[in-house]
Amino acid sequence: MNAGTILSSLVDGLLIGVVYGIAAMGLNLIWGVMRVINLAHGALISLGMFGVYLFFSSLGLNPYLALLFVALLGLLMGVIVYFVGIAPVINGPYLSTLLATFSINMIIIGLGTAAFTTTPRDIGFSLGSIQIGPLILLGTRLVAAAATLLVTGALYIFLYRTRTGKYIRAVSNNRSAAELMGIPSSRILALSFGIGTMLAAIAGGLIATFFSFTILSGDVYQQKSFIIGVLGGLGNPLGALVGGLILGVLEGLLPLAMPNTWVPVIEFLLFILILLIKPSGLLGGRQ
């Protein structure tokens, strides 16, 4: 094993890890604002994959242009799902919201399986590659990483520089106090769930540009999102990016030293270790 192979695996892992980060960002945002564990997150990622696939294969749209439409549809779907499935139980026990999101997950998977079957799909889109010394970087992964950083920057500006973003942070800190200050918490919660769903759809669309997928593929990325959430801190959306980078590095380097089948085992061992040693995550989660 030479240094070039290690460097290539490391960079490849970082590029994929950035995209994992945006997948976890939506999950973290929903937990941080609403205290809801969204078990439909993986199914929503899968819908993002199929959204980009259908726009590309049926209408011939460039996948990155299609991603804009998928993001808007994801936002709208998230708001609708919130009012229909989450709002009635939002003030109930955690188990109520857990079962509600699990039911939404099963409905999406059931309808998706009926519509698309479980046959793997592949967009088959390529942007070529760039070689820098021993490094060979795939164009789709570079663009996906750049798009993720752009979305992360936009999310940061939205949360910390806009009035609506301040409302979201206020509801996250203390919903009752925010309502006393005249903030419409119901609409803010719906918007937060919509943004979380939009981030999941964007992540799915980006992942679809370089991996094949089925309607069940989102489950894998949901598991990774939970691991990343614990690494970066549950309830800390921007910390998810750091967690994604850590997970990406592990997935890039571990296969060089052991069979691929051991990689998920190591990831979940890390998951348990962080929970035991620093439950709030490396960057600290929602207090």
Calpha distance 175→91 (Å, rounded)? 11
Q: Compute the C-alpha angle 130/131/137, nearest 5°.
A: 55
Stretches where the chain sits below pLDDT 70 are 1-2, 4, 235, 282-287
Torsion of CA 244, 249, 255, 260, to 10 degrees: -10
In sequence order, the 6+-apart residues with CB closer than 8 A to the CB of 50 are 112, 116, 121, 208, 213, 215
Predicted local distance difference test score (pLDDT) of residue 287 = 47
Q: What is the torsion angle, in degrees rounded to the nearest 10, for the CA atoms of residue 140, residue 30, residue 198 and residue 201?
A: 50
How many Cα atoms are found within 13 Å in the side-chain-facing hemisphere of 91? 5
Q: What three-state secondary structure class fits 273?
A: helix
What global pTM score does this model have? 0.93
Residue matched to tokens 């690494």: 231
pLDDT given at position 230: 83
Q: Which amino acid is at 106?
A: M
By residue count, the chain amounts to 287
Q: Quick one: pLDDT at residue 284?
A: 60
Provide the pLDDT for residue 71: 97
pLDDT at residue 283, rounded to an integer: 66
Q: Report yes or no: 234 and 286 within 8 Å, Cβ to Cβ.
A: yes
- Residue 192, φ and ψ in degrees, nearest 5: -65, -45
Beta bridge partners of 135: 132
Of 26, 25, 18, nearest to 239 by C-alpha is 25
At 135, give phi and psi (nearest 5°).
-85, 135
3 neighbors 243 (Cβ within 8 angstroms):
no
Distance from C-alpha of 51 to C-alpha of 38, rounded to nearest angstrom: 20
In 3D space, the residue among 77, 76, 69 whose CA is nearest the CA of residue 53 turns out to be: 69
Identity of the amino acid at 262 = W
**Going along 30-152, which residue ranges are E strands?**
129-132, 135-138
Give the tens place of pLDDT for each residue, 218-255: 999 999 998 888 887 776 777 788 888 889 988 888 88
146/139 Cα distance (integer angstroms): 11
